[in-house]
Amino acid sequence: MTLRLPTRPSGRPLVMGVVNVTPDSFSDGGRFFDLDAAVAHGRELVAQGADLLDVGGESTRPGAQRPSEHDELARVLPVVEALADLAPISVDTMRAGVARACVEAGAAIVNDVSGGLADPDMASAVAALQVPYVAMHWRGHSHDMQTRTQYDDVVADVLRELEQRRDALLSAGIDPSLLVLDPGLGFAKTAAQNWTVLAGLDRFAGLGQPLLVGASRKSFLAQVGSRDGEPVPADERDAATAAVSVVLAQAGVWAIRVHEVRSTVAACDVVAALERARA
- Annotated catalytic residues are 218, 257
Question: What are the b/e assignments for 142-175, b being 16+ CB within 10 Å?
Answer: beebbeeeebeebbebbbebbbebbeebeeeebb
**Is residue 215 within 8 Å of 241, Cβ to Cβ?**
yes
C-alpha 123 chain-centroid distance: 18
Q: Measuring CA to CA, which residue among 10, 13, 92 is closest to residue 51? A: 13
Q: What is the torsion angle, in degrees rounded to the nearest 10, for the CA atoms of residue 129, residue 132, residue 16 and residue 207? A: 150
Residue 164 sits at φ, ψ, to 5 deg, of -65, -40
| Pairing outcome for strands 14-20 and 179-182 | unpaired
